[in-house]
Amino acid sequence: MGAPEPRDPEPGGPERRGTVHGRDRTRLWAAVAGAAAAAAGVLAGELGAGLVSPSLSPVSAVGGAVVDLAPSAAKDWAIAAFGTADKLFLVSVIAAAVVALGAVAGLLELRRRGAGAWLAAGIGAVGLAAVATRAQATPAAWLCALAAGAVAAGLVRWLVARLRPAAPPAVAASALDRRRFFRALAGTAGAIALGGALTAVVRGASLAVTAARDALRLPVPADPAPPVPSAAELRVSGITPLVTPNRDFYRIDTALVVPSVDPGRWRLTVTGKVEEPVTLTWDELLAAPLVERHITLACVSNPVGGDLVGNARWLGWPVRELLARSRPKDGADMVLSRSVDGFTAGTPLEVLTDEGTDALLAVGMNGEPLPPEHGFPVRLVVPGLYGYVSATKWVTELRVTSFAEEKAYWSTRGWSERGPVKTASRIDVPRRGARVPAGVLAVGGVAWAQHRGISAVQVRADDGEWQPARLGTGISRDTWYQWAAEVTLAPGTHRLSVRAVDGTGEVQTGQAAPPAPDGATGHHTITIEAT
């Protein structure tokens, strides 16, 4: 630095430029390459998050961690100085820091092959660690941070490799090498521009919706959920919690990109065989008397012993009230609910109009607005039916029709038209394959038969007698129940099985069936080793 660089007097002398001043420029270009690689990595992470993890991106995770770690004086200062732009400021600082570190990685990579890539991967690891500290962390968010680090590390290595002469420096082949490098850099810049535009579109929409969601205050329910009875919780270490936190709630849908639906523009239309077509707005929905219920949602694809099932406290308006407004006509026996992304579910009309079934047009999940992944702003939740025939997320239309006339998304793809939840039970502790001390062993898990309830759970070891388990009271017949038992095991390999009896007295079948076409059956059986 300092002295102005002497101008190259010879026109068209790239070779000489490469050799005479090559060293300084090479360092400069290595830094540029590193910065570009870092920028591409950040964009890859943000674009990925926009597509699969709208609630948490690598940069927002680092931002969240910085906010949590920052002394409150610094937060006060940022809010005072930037007001509502404080988040934008923080994100800009993080992005600038990452790009600056990228430049350092470029220089390092030039000095030692692989060193810069390690630094870039290290920056990615910081993003990963930040994701790990966030409440909303999901596998998708982890993947985005991993992708960001991998893209940055790979690119810095690849770009800087193109800066090095292919042959020993004495051959002075640098003009050719530079051309290779500039082509690679231009390609990277093009990818950054394209990725940036895509990210702006995807993230812009989802950021606006996330901001709208953050600013929301859900109304107080007119009819709150009854408190969870203390006898519903069994104290068994490792058992599935009675209420599933939102971030742990399974996610199943056909949406490649999580739909961004602005509640202000959201409309639900009730159409088809009705006396009175109705259009409902977000404000009208929130103004309705909302009820709150614990309901366990299960996926038809859940295998025996699987975890595509979760229990949440949903806030919503009973669908029957809305249907009562539009008055279904004779001949209708199904409601085809449609999502903004085209997914449809076919639900029996009588389930939705039944006084005794809390089918909800849900806006809240465990005290929060629905997470984007779980259908923000509005979804259906229907106790007793698998999600594919009832739980339409991002719902925008209820079409009153008949099973004879219309088919829902999965019913045209080999799944049954009707999807009542089958009685199921699962062993959560011990885990399958566990090594446990011989003697008395604590066993526990959950069982569900939504809308019928569970009246008993039984366990057995190997081919022994079925023994009664202790059964939690459950929250309601629409939720799962915890169960616990003690079995005594001699040293050796053992099989543990569980079965439930539903509220009507029907015993869960041991007949094994796969998930398709209408839900798996069979006893969950695990093998463990007692020593």
Ligand X SMILES: Nc1nc2c(c(=O)[nH]1)N[C@H]1C(S)=C(S)[C@@H](COP(=O)(O)O)O[C@H]1N2
| Sites of contact with ligand X (CB under 6 A) | 249-255, 297, 299, 339, 341, 343, 374, 387-388, 391-394
> Residue 254: which of ligand X, Mo ion, none does it interact with, CB under 5 to 8 A by kind?
ligand X
Binding status of residue 456 toward Mo ion by CB under 5 A: no
Cβ–Cβ < 8 Å for 384, 357: yes
Residue number, 15 or 262, with CB nearest to ligand X: 262
**Binding string, residues 284-303; x marks residues near Mo ion by CB under 5 A:** ---------------x----
Question: Rounded to the nearest whole angstrom, what is the least distance from the CB of residue 393 to Mo ion in the complex?
Answer: 11
- Among 293, 311, 313, CA closest to 249: 311
Residue number, 310 or 430, with CB nearest to ligand X: 310
Quick one: how many helices (H) and strands (E) in the chain? 11, 19
Residue number, 20 or 516, with CB nearest to Mo ion: 516
The CA distances from residue 238 to 135, 235, 443, 456, 474, in Å, are 20, 9, 10, 21, 18
> Residue 339: which of ligand X, Mo ion, none does it interact with, CB under 5 to 8 A by kind?
ligand X
Question: Rounded to the nearest whole angstrom, what is the least distance from the CB of residue 252 to ligand X in the complex?
Answer: 4
Residues 378-397 touching Mo ion, rule: CB under 5 A, are: 387-388
Q: Which stretch binds Mo ion (CB under 5 A): 110-118, 197-205, 252-260, 374-382?
A: 252-260
- Among 226, 227, 235, CA closest to 472: 235
> Residue 285: which of Mo ion, ligand X, none does it interact with, CB under 5 to 8 A by kind?
none
Count of Cβ atoms closer than 10 Å to residue 521 Cβ: 17
- Eight-class DSSP state of 326: H
Question: Rounded to the nearest whole angstrom, what is the least distance from the CB of residue 249 to Mo ion in the complex?
Answer: 13
Question: Rounded to the nearest whole angstrom, what is the least distance from the CB of residue 489 to ligand X in the complex?
Answer: 35
Question: Rounded to the nearest whole angstrom, what is the least distance from the CB of residue 250 to ligand X in the complex?
Answer: 5
Question: Rounded to the nearest whole angstrom, what is the least distance from the CB of residue 324 to ligand X in the complex?
Answer: 24
CA–CA dist 408, 414 (Å, integer): 11
Binding status of residue 419 toward Mo ion by CB under 5 A: no
Q: Residue 260 pairs with which residues in a beta bridge?
A: none
Count of Cβ atoms closer than 10 Å to residue 232 Cβ: 20
CA–CA dist 487, 82 (Å, integer): 62
Residue number, 48 or 519, with CB nearest to Mo ion: 519
CA–CA dist 182, 435 (Å, integer): 58
CA–CA dist 292, 295 (Å, integer): 9
Question: Rounded to the nearest whole angstrom, what is the least distance from the CB of residue 310 to Mo ion in the complex?
Answer: 12
> Residue 363: which of Mo ion, ligand X, none does it interact with, CB under 5 to 8 A by kind?
none
# residues near Mo ion by CB under 5 A: 4
The CA distances from residue 519 to 189, 198, 419, 424, 489, in Å, are 49, 39, 8, 10, 32
Binding status of residue 410 toward Mo ion by CB under 5 A: no
Binding status of residue 375 toward Mo ion by CB under 5 A: no
Would you tell me which residues interact with Mo ion (CB under 5 A)? Answer: 252, 299, 387-388
